[in-house]
Structure 1
Amino acid sequence: MPSPPTFKELFRDCQRTAVHLEARDAYSKTDSAFVDWKAGRSIDPAERWAAWHGIVSEAVSRGVEVRRARIVSMPVSEYIRFEHSVTEGLNIAAGERVRWLPRREASDLLIPGNDYWLFDSRLVYLNHFDGEGEPTEPEITEDSEMAKLCESAFESVWQRATPHAEFDVY
């Protein structure tokens, strides 16, 4: 049985779109960048996440549209303030478009129970986390019904969400 594709391979093989829906208020709280940010140390996103920047910017340079939507509780958690602070230098600098949606404005939307990436409207990469926000084994599926659900959910969030430059976390 062949091993599943790596995240880098998923981006490399993507031709048109890569969209990511995030709906947690915290992720790995032991992440060194988050720990440094909490301690007031300066973080250079381009340096800290050079590999990610390379993966995304390469895809964008081939014409892939990369979008990320984040559903967040208000007031935002400390972790979301951290994410917001690095988004410009990390995600947007690499070519992603990022929007934010307060959770209260998403109450009537049907969204999957897990964060996910959807590549070319057909391949779903489901992110799984434990109760502390630490990543566990992801799941990849090409189930067409799951892909349609994820695409519909993402687009409904995207339409309501606020562009990063206009979203205030304070």
Structure 2
Amino acid sequence: MTVPTTPSARDRRQIIHDFVDRAFAGIDPGAPGAQIARGMRQLPPDAPDEPGAEQAQAWAELAALLADESFVRRVRQMALAGATGGEQPAYDPQPVIEHAGGAVAAGVAPGSPEGRRILDRIVDAGTPAEERARLAGQVETFTDRRVERYWELMGVLNGRAPYPSATPAFEWFAAALRAHG
């Protein structure tokens, strides 16, 4: 898919809608996780045809993402996995962000003894190896730096303040689950 780097506001909205339509094709809008499609489409209705420098740069980067078929396939994979519903995560994301994020910042290796102590603050120390492996797979399915970047860029286009990246914390968490399974 070729995405122009300087489309009008109307065209930008259409490009986003087309991307989301492809990623969520055939998924029942009432399925678990399908509401994510609404958020992925969100652009301000009064966006100018000539965006400011920061928004123009964000659009150019977003256009490159949307033109990357591996990115589209990855979002589709996440959409399909989310639509099946499955079980809710067996962990609270806030401790992942707090503890695993702290481990990333401190340079603690996921497989180290300190990594194990940090992991035990996030999930019960007695969690069986099979459950840790299942949980790691679930975290890996829904963790992708490019998808997080999509949300960051959409935030710029929507005039929202940036937020700290959570992806490194979830990557560390998945690695720690696998290392201590």
Q: TM-score range by the shorter chain?
A: under 0.3
Larger strand share, 1 or 2: 1
- Report the TM-score when normalising by structure 2: 0.24
Q: Which structure: greater helix fraction?
A: 2
